[in-house]
Chains A and B, each alone.
Chain A
Amino acid sequence: MDFGFSEEQEQLRRQVRRFADERCPMDRVRELMDSDDAFDKQMWASMAELGWLGLAVPEQAGGLGLNWEDVVVVAEELGRSLLPSPFLAVTTAARAVDLLGSEAQKAELLAPLAEGTSVVTLAFFEDSDVIDPDGVATTATADGDGWLTLSGTKMFVPWGQSADKLLLVAREADGLSVFAVDSAAEGLTVEPLQLIDTTCRAARVSLDSVRVAADSRLGAAGQAWPLLSRALDAGLVALCAEMVGAADGSLQLTTEFAKVRQQFGSPIGRFQGVKHRLAEIYVATESARSLTYYASWAVDHLDDAASSVAMAKEWAAEALDRAGEEGVQLHGAIGYTWECDAHLYYKRGRLCRNLMGSPDYQRERLLAAQGL
């Protein structure tokens, strides 16, 4: 019985925090968010060198063979610093390849992914924006011997505009399949989405009769869902960790402001109207943290972690949304300015709240999982 991180994991956390402080302080976050692709390739190469991109990738495939808990440690610290990068996208894609792919496919896809030379992302969502197999309308139809044609439109593809490879989820006669496809494939168009939070990137990917080889399919035809849903849940836990980190970052920013901002002859943090709201954010963030850490263990150790993941998302989304909103409010007018960092956390909250299913959706999912 031990619900905490090991000394190695705490070292990893310190390493990520130091890296983010040195390589991506808020000035750099702002430069990147105003840039075209928000993607710092040198920083990405350093992250790969430190082993972070292949944390949970098996050692024989070029990774460190660690657990999802370790991914969550890194994601939380990246969230705290709002460091822009496709870390979540690539880590989630790696999980999908690891769960679904053959040994040969793993060797081919995961080694360059862990080395940082190939950005891979999972394209699952469409008009349907929740983790539900019935929402996949993109089709894969046989097109001659050993070939298929993919048609449809993928939405909310994380960092799709920076991806070298896409894991495209499409429907075949028997169910869902996942295809690893080059982003330069003919008939495949990537359009950047304009997100409310510009420290993150996502794309719409249109598939107009894209021809793919049958051996680009990960796993058996139409059988992807049980394992794919596990990869999506793992990705969602990592997103929760980012949110918890960002909520903590926002809380810290606002708390420090409340200690120094003087009104009525006193730091505003002395007033209960201020301190109680900060205390409530603390309660929400710590609870989201407990749920997220447990969910990170659950995706590695339980057959069905969906309920744990749903509860983590519900709380993480509400903690960050609250921390972001109160952060803007408690700063007063300065909080409404572009110059103050409060809005950066608020925007991250607005983005993450709705990605992969809103809190309302997660609550419904939790009850449905119990047959209610």
Chain B
Amino acid sequence: MDFSFTEKEEAFRNEVREFLAEHHDSEGVRADGADIESAMDKLPKLLAWNQALYEKGWVGFSWPREFGGSGGGIVEQMILKQECGDARAPILGLSYMGLAWVGPGIIQYGTDAQKKRFIPPILKAEEHWCTGYSEPGSGSDLASLQCRAERDGDDYVINGQKIWTSLAMWAQWMILLVRTDPTASKHLGISCLLVPMDSEGLEVRPIKAMNGETPFAEVFFDNVRVPVENRLGAEGQGWDVTKHALANERSSIAEVTALHHNLDDLKSMAGECRLNGKPAIEDAGIRQRLARMQSTIEAMRLNGLRFLTKQLRGEPIGAETSVNKLLRTEMDVETGRLACDMQGGHGVLTGKSPGAVQGGRWQKNSLSWPTTVIGGGTPNIQRNVIAERLLGLPHDS
């Protein structure tokens, strides 16, 4: 084992720090989770941040240079994320889904023309993507999806519905899973299409979530036509493209920086809040839960480093990332609950209420965890993945 960094890696760390000192205004732009509306207020500053990063080649850091990435190594990428995280800088690029899995999917499965067309606008944050996977009848059993695409000359004609499509109202493009061959077995009849959101016959209906925001939508397709050249991968290869994408999602969701920030904030709040007549930090139960949170985050960090080492050694990683996704689930729910518990009676006060603690931040947090807990595969699906792929237990059906 060796947890040290090479001279070259340390030099890169210094380069990141210098970049942050120059471009990151920690007062103006803070990365504080998935709050879409506050992100919109900060948009001009975020775009400037994206532009500076792009010029440096650090959006899509590990992507090939020919597409505008840096061709950077895994360790440097970790250093970059760690330093930006420690400085509480915004995420590395604004085209969230574009960077997380659409881009990697296009790099792996796309044609040269698709790479040239789609990669640069993702890096420059000029185009945002949404993901058309789930349907009303196909959630955890995603491969049962029914949205149809039929060939008509050089086009596909799409009919059907998607749901829980995050950011559909803001995205210019959708990566869409459709059934192209209803006679094939359920996994083999699926293809992946890249669809403009302004297509004729495509309708977006926002859905209000339990936290009062509208983070996702229903999307309806009524004879929507897209050219065949917008298919990603071969016809019938859509499930492979998706598995690749979901593996990317599971690993990107597992990053621990934001969890660390929450923990630090909870620790300082525990010194300020009074619970049962004394500071919350003196309460034995609260102490146990804070410590548990810290050790869980540390376990996630170290699990991540073990996976990273496997990658560095050229070994495949797949289902193991479900481990951190499950731990992350536990943390995402516990964070808001613990924060509200520390506030005692005040824990029920939201937003602008008289007496609300920290502007109701933690109440909002405790109403927002399903984004990461249910998105990308529910906890029970992660347990299936671990049991079947890692322990070799029989499939459900």
Interface residues of A (CB under 8 A from B): 1-5, 69, 251, 255, 258-259, 266-267, 269-270, 272, 274-276, 278-280, 282-283, 286-288, 290-291, 293-294, 296-297, 301, 308, 310-311, 314-315, 360, 362-364, 366-367, 372
What 0/1 pattern do residues 1 to 38 of B give for CB contact below 8 A with A? 11111000100000000000000000000000000000
Answer whether A366 and B323 are a contact pair too, CB < 8 Å, given A3-B305, A290-B306: no
Shortest CB–CB separation between residue A215 and chain B, in angstroms?
38
A296 to B387 CA separation, bound complex (whole angstroms): 28
CB neighbours of B287 from chain A (8 A): 363-364, 367, 372
- A-B contacts counted at CB < 8 A amount to 143
Q: How far is the CA of A332 from the CA of B242 in the complex (A)?
A: 39
Residues of B within 8 A of A287 (CB): 296, 299-300, 302-303, 323, 327
Complex partner residue of A290 from B3, B281, B299, B313, CB under 8 angstroms: B299
| Smallest beta-carbon distance A71→chain B, Å | 13
Please measure, in the bound complex, the distance between the C-alpha atom of A259 and the C-alpha atom of B270, giving whole angstroms. Answer: 47
Query: For B75, what are the chain A residues with a Cβ–Cβ distance below 8 Å?
Result: 1
Question: How far apart are the CA atoms of A279 and B389 in the complex, in Å?
Answer: 10
Interchain nearest-CB distance for B14 vs A (Å): 17
Nearest CB of A to B317, in Å: 12
B1 and A291 contacting across the interface, CB-CB below 8 Å: no
B4, B281, B296, B323: which contacts A282 (Cβ < 8 A)? B323
Cα-based distance from A275 to B302 in the complex (angstroms)? 25
Could you show 7 A-B contacts with beta carbons less than 8 Å apart? A1-B9, A280-B326, A283-B326, A290-B305, A363-B291, A367-B290, A372-B290
CB distance from A10 to the nearest CB of B (A): 12
**Contacts A272-B380, A294-B302 given: A360-B288 contact, CB under 8 Å?**
yes
**Known A4-B309, A279-B383, A364-B287; contact A69-B295, beta-carbon cutoff 8 A:** no
Nearest-neighbour CB distance to chain A for B318, whole angstroms, equals 14
Interchain CB contact under 8 A, B391 and A255: yes
- Asked, given contacts A255-B392, A283-B386, whether A2 binds B1 with beta carbons under 8 Å apart, the answer is yes
A77–B381 Cα distance when bound, in Å, is: 31
New contact pairs (11) apart from A269-B393, A364-B288, CB-CB < 8 Å: A1-B305, A1-B308, A2-B312, A255-B392, A272-B384, A276-B384, A286-B303, A293-B306, A311-B294, A314-B291, A363-B295
B390 proximal to A (CB < 8 A): yes
The answer to whether residues A272 and B396 also contact, given A1-B5, A4-B310, A294-B302 and a CB cut-off of 8 A, is: yes
Rounded to whole Å, the gap between the CB of A293 and the closest CB of chain B is: 7
Would you call A314 and B387 a contact (CB within 8 A)?
no
**Chain B: which residue is nearest A293 at the CB level?**
B1
Across the interface, do A276 and B2 meet the contact criterion of CB distance under 8 Å? no
Partner of A3, one of B267, B306, B327: B306
